[in-house]
Amino acid sequence: MLSAQEQLKGVVLETSSGKEMPLPGANVYWLSSSVGAITNEDGTFTLPYKFSYNKLVVSYVGFKSDTITISENKYIRHILQASDELDAVEITSRKQATRKSYLQAANTFTVTSAELLKAACCNLAESFETNPSIDVNFADAISGSKQIKMLGLNSPYILIATENIPAIRGASQAYGLSFIPGTWVESIQITKGTGSVVNGFESIAGQINAEMVKPTTDDKLFVNLYGASSERLELNTHINTKVSDKWSTGLYVHGNTHQEKHDVNDDGFLDMPMYNQINVMNRWQYTNPEKGVVSFINLRYLNDEKQAGQVDFDPQRDKGTTNYWGSEIDTERFEITTKLGYVNPEIPYQSLGFQTAFSHHQQDSYFGLNQYDIKHNSFYSNLVYNSIISDSRHKIKTGVSFTYDHYNELVNNHNNALLNNTTYKRTENSVGGFFEYAFDNLDKLSLTAGMRVDQHNKLGFFVTPRLHVRYTPWEKSALRASIGRGKRSANIFAENQNIFSSSRQINILNSEGKIYGLDPEIAWNYGISYLQGFNLFDRKADVTFDFYRTDFQNQVVVDWENPYEVNFYNLEGDSYANSFQFEFNYNAFEHFDVRMAYKYYDIQTDYISGKLEKPLVPKHRLFANASYETEIKNNGQWKFDATYNWLSGQRFPSTDLSALQFQLADETPTVGTLNLQVTKVFSPKFEVYLGGENVTNVRQDNPVVSADNPFGSNFDSNFVYGPIYGSMYYAGLRFRIK
C-alpha cells in the first residue's frame, strides 16, 4: 500500500448556467504514464502521487483538455472550460440525454434528467418510454399498472434500486414502480446482464438504479403541474432548504388523482382505474468535507388507493357480491433509509459506506370474489469498504450485508378450495460477504470480478460469481463481455397479482420446496456487447450490438396454457431467454438527434404441455426516437420529441379448451404507437409542455375476455398486448427557483 502522503485528491467541475457543477466521468491521469482515474458522480478523484509525477492531465469530451503543473501534494480544484474549437459533433455528445461509457467494464448507460423530460414521466414505470433497452407494457386490462422487462424477462429478475438500495422487491413488485415519482429521480443507471455483487445476489437480467435528487443540488423550489385529457391530475412540489453549513433538507410532495370513468370500447369495464395517491418524502443531507463525511436520511410515506372493474361497480354496495365485478387495491407504505459515507482525509483512497433501509408495506385488495392481502416488513443493511492495491488502476470493494423479510399473505381464490382464505407466513433472512476487484488501465482493458457468499435460511449456503470485462480494440470502441449467476425466491402472488383478475383456478403443483412448496430460482446470464463511435457526414454517430442469454437452472414456471387455470411449478427441462439488440444514435445536424433500435427475442420454456415460446412477448421490436432543440435566445427555447414503437405479433396463451366463442387466435396483431411532446422554455425558471401518447389512436379490441359475464368461468383480463385506451393528450408546467 502507498502511504497517505503519496495520494493526490481533488475535484473536477464545469460551469453551467453560471453555476459550478461536478463533472463525473472526466479523465485525470499523470502525463506520460498509465496511472490515472475517472472522476466520481460528485466530480472527485484520488490517484497515486510521487515527486516524479508533475504534469496532471484533465480531459473530457466537449471540453478543453488541461495540463496542470503539480509542484506539491495538495487538494486540486479544477474547472474545465467548454471547448470553442471542437466541432458541433463533440459539443452535442456532451449534451446527450443518455450517456454511454467507453471505459466501464459493465454494459452500463446513464439516463439523465434531460432524457427523462422527453416524456411526462410521472413515475418510474413511465420513465422508460424513450429507452429501447427497457420494454414497458400493461400487466393486465384491469389494474392499469405497467410492468417493465429487460432482456425479455419481467421486473422480478431485475434488481431495481434507489441509490443502490434494493427498492422494488417483495410486496412492492407489482405496483412499486408507480410509487416513485419521476421528478424525484435525478438520473437512472441501467446495467445489462448481472449487476455487481455489492448490491446482492438477486439480479439476473440486469440492474436499474435510480439516483434521487439531493437537497444540496436540487432547486430551492420546484413545482410540476400535470393534467391529461383523461382527467388525470398530478402535482409535484420540491422545497429545499440549507439548515446550516453542513445540514440541508428537502421536502418532496407528490399527489395524483383520477376520478373519471372511461369506457371507450363499451365493454362495461373501466379502461383505466380511478385512484388517489399521496407520496411524501423528507430528505436530510449532512456534508462535512473536512472530515470526509456525507450522510443522507430519508423518511417516506405513501398512501395509494385504486378502484377498477365494471363501470357500474359501487364498492359500498357491491363489494363481495356478484352484482358487478370490481376491485380495490389500497396500499400504505412507510420507509426510512440512511446512508453514511466516509472518506479518510489522511488516506483518501480509503472509504467506507454504510446503508440501511427499513420498510413497512401493507396492501389490502380484492379482485371480484378473489382476495389478496399482504404485509411485508423488510430490513436491509450493507457495509462497503473501498481501497486500492498498489495504485489506482487496482481497486477493491469488500463488505458484508444483511437482509430480513417477513411476509404475511392472505389468499382467497374462489375457484380453489385449497386457497380459500389461506394464510402464508414466512421469514427470510440472509447474511453475506462480498469481494470485488476492478482493474482499469484507462487504455485497452478494464475488468470487474466479484464473488459473494451468502447464508440464507430458505435458500441455504451459496456462492455468487460475476465478471465484467471491457476491451478497446481501436479508437472509440468498447467490446464487453459478462457472465454471472443469480438466485432468488419467487413471491408468486405479489409478483403475479394479475392472476386474481380472472376466473382461473390458481394451483401450486409442487410441495417439497421451502417457499410455497417451490424451489428457489437460479439462472446464469451471459452477454457480449460492442459499442463503436464514428463520424458520419462529419456528424457524430455510434452503433451498439449486444447479445445476452439467460439460462435457468431452476425457474418457478407461471403456466397460462390452460384457460381455466394458472399453474405454478418448478422447471423440469429447459428455460432460456435470448436477446439481441442493435442500436444506432446519430446527431444528424446541430441540436437534432436520432436514435433507432431493433430488438429480437427468443424466449422458450418447457411447460407441462411442451416447449413453447413465452406468451405475450414480441419476437421483433422496432424503436425510433427523434429530438430537436432550438438555439437558446433570451433564455428561452423550444424542444420537440417523438417516439415510435412497433411490436410484432405475440403468442397468445392457448385457448383451445375454451368454448368456441372465447377462443383467440394463436398470435396477436402487430402494434405501432407514436408519442409526441413539445416543450416551450420561457426562462430558466419557467417552462410549459404539451404532448400526446398513442396519438395514432391504436387500441386493442376487447381486452377483457367474457366481459359480459365476469363471474363466469371464461372471464380473463390477462390477454393484453397493446394499448387499452386510445389517444391521450396532456399539458403541464414546470416552475423552479434555483
Q: Are 62 and 44 in contact (CB under 8 A)?
A: no
Distance between CA atoms of residues 48 and 54, nearest Å: 12
| HSE value, Cβ hemisphere, 13 Å, CA-based, for 29 | 19
Residue 650 identity (one-letter amino acid): Q
CA angle 298, 299, 301 (to 5 degrees): 140
Residue 5, pLDDT score: 43
pLDDT bucket at 348, cuts 50 / 70 / 90:
low
Residue 442, pLDDT score: 66
| 81: number of Cβ within 10 Å | 10
Q: What number is the average pLDDT over the span 126-150? A: 88
pLDDT at 100 over 50: yes
Q: What number is the average pLDDT over the span 225-239? A: 95
Nearest to 521 by CA among 484, 562, 569: 569
Q: Which three cell numbers stand for residue 149?
A: 422487462
CA angle 401, 405, 407 (to 5 degrees): 170
Of 640 and 96, which is predicted with more confidence? 640
Residue 86, pLDDT score: 37
Q: In 53-191, which residue ranges form alpha helices assigned H by DSSP? A: 88-94, 113-116
pLDDT at 472 over 80: yes
User: How far is CA 78 from each of CA 5, 37, 48, 205, 605, rounded to the nearest angstrom?
Assistant: 21, 15, 18, 39, 55
Q: Where are the beta strands (DSSP E) in 648-712?
A: 671-683, 686-693
Of 375 and 47, which is predicted with more confidence? 375
User: How far is CA 180 from each of CA 67, 243, 711, rounded to the nearest angstrom?
Assistant: 43, 26, 34
Q: Which three cell numbers stand for residue 509?
A: 403443483
Residue 54, pLDDT score: 81
Residue 378 identity (one-letter amino acid): S
Length of the chain: 738
Distance between CA atoms of residues 622 and 392, nearest Å: 42
CA angle 701, 702, 707 (to 5 degrees): 165
Q: Which three cell numbers stand for residue 597?
A: 433500435
CA angle 256, 259, 262 (to 5 degrees): 120
pLDDT tens sequence across 636-657: 999 999 999 999 999 999 999 9
